[in-house]
């Protein structure tokens, strides 16, 4: 598998995106289960087909671009607005970057590391070790980029994140991931109960970290990515249950800014797996 990833990592980004878009539409056409979940999730958010249909191809691009992002040279990056990130780092507190399954979330970590790690230290990111040995080898190499510190989804990994935040460094999370049973709580997401991680809220409340929303917009024709950041519209409640709901609401607001790049096929409302 590593050899294949190395091979495709040398391809132009526009070519990978073209192949990925075709793959996304093939998955849509041949998987009724995926198609149904995609449409149901979009309807739950109050969106019609005309608003979200481009997300079908974007989902394929999300997978096809991985060889380039993990093992190839960094593609072109442009910051639409980095003020929220700059202000958060300037506060002297830890910074908790949150992004949903939207656009290219792999590039957000790389962009933050390139932009801020030299001055503010590495960005700590959480990852789930791959079950496939070949993919695990690829992921290990991918996480060894300068300015990035990857930690596993274990208690030790959580401790490392807390340590990083208390040291004034930054941590990156995808708070719309469905956590294992016992590591989350049911909270509304676009009006429907979804098992939601409490980790993001706990990290923010325990360390007084500044919370920044970030997402990487995938530009057309393989032109690279545009990074967007914004601060929370209001401070998180000190009540954990309320804070978890607030983070879900922040993710909803972010997704609705560009629904054509959200992964509507993600099983957001599934039952959690046993830890």
- Mean pLDDT along residues 239-251: 97
pLDDT surpasses 70 at 235: yes
Give the span between the Cα atoms of 156 and 93, in whole angstroms. Answer: 22
Neighbours of 245 (CB within 10 A): 18
pLDDT surpasses 70 at 36: yes
Task: Give me the sign of the Cα torsion angle 72, 62, 250, 260.
Answer: positive
What length does the chain have? Answer: 275
The alpha carbon of residue 142 and the mean position of all alpha carbons in its chain are separated, in whole angstroms, by 16
Amino acid 274: pLDDT: 76
Give the span between the Cα atoms of 201 and 9, in whole angstroms. Answer: 36
Neighbours of 119 (CB within 10 A): 7
Amino acid 163: pLDDT: 96
Amino acid 144: pLDDT: 72
Whether pTM > 0.85 for this model: the answer is: yes
Report pLDDT digits (tens) over 68-116. 999 999 999 999 999 999 999 999 999 999 999 999 999 999 999 999 9
With pLDDT > 90 as the criterion, what percentage of the chain qualifies? 84
């Amino acid at each position: 598998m590593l050899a294949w990833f190395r091979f495709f990592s040398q391809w132009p980004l526009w070519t990978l995106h073209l192949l990925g878009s075709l793959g996304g539409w093939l998955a849509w056409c041949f998987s009724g289960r995926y198609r149904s979940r995609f449409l149901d999730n979009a309807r739950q958010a109050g969106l019609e087909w005309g608003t979200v249909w481009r997300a079908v191809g974007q989902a394929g691009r999300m997978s096809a671009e991985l060889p380039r992002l993990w093992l190839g040279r960094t593609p072109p990056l442009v910051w639409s607005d980095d003020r929220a990130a700059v202000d958060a780092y300037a506060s002297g507190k830890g910074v908790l970057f949150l992004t949903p399954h939207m656009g290219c979330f792999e590039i957000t970590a790389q962009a933050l590391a390139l932009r801020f790690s030299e001055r503010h230290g590495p960005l700590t990111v959480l990852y789930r070790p791959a079950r496939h040995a070949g993919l695990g080898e690829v992921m290990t190499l991918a996480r060894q980029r300068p300015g990035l510190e990857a930690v596993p989804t274990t208690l030790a990994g959580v401790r490392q994140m807390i340590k990083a935040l208390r040291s004034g460094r930054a941590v990156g999370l995808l708070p719309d991931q469905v956590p294992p049973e016992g590591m989350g709580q049911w909270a509304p997401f676009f009006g429907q109960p979804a098992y939601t991680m409490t980790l993001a809220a706990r990290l923010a409340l325990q360390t007084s970290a500044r919370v920044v929303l970030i997402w990487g917009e995938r530009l057309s024709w393989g032109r690279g990515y545009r990074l967007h950041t914004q601060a929370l519209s209001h401070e998180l409640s000190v009540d954990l249950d309320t804070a978890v709901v607030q983070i879900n609401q922040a993710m909803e607001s972010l997704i609705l800014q560009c629904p054509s790049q959200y992964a509507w096929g993600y099983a957001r409302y599934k039952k959690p797996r046993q830890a």
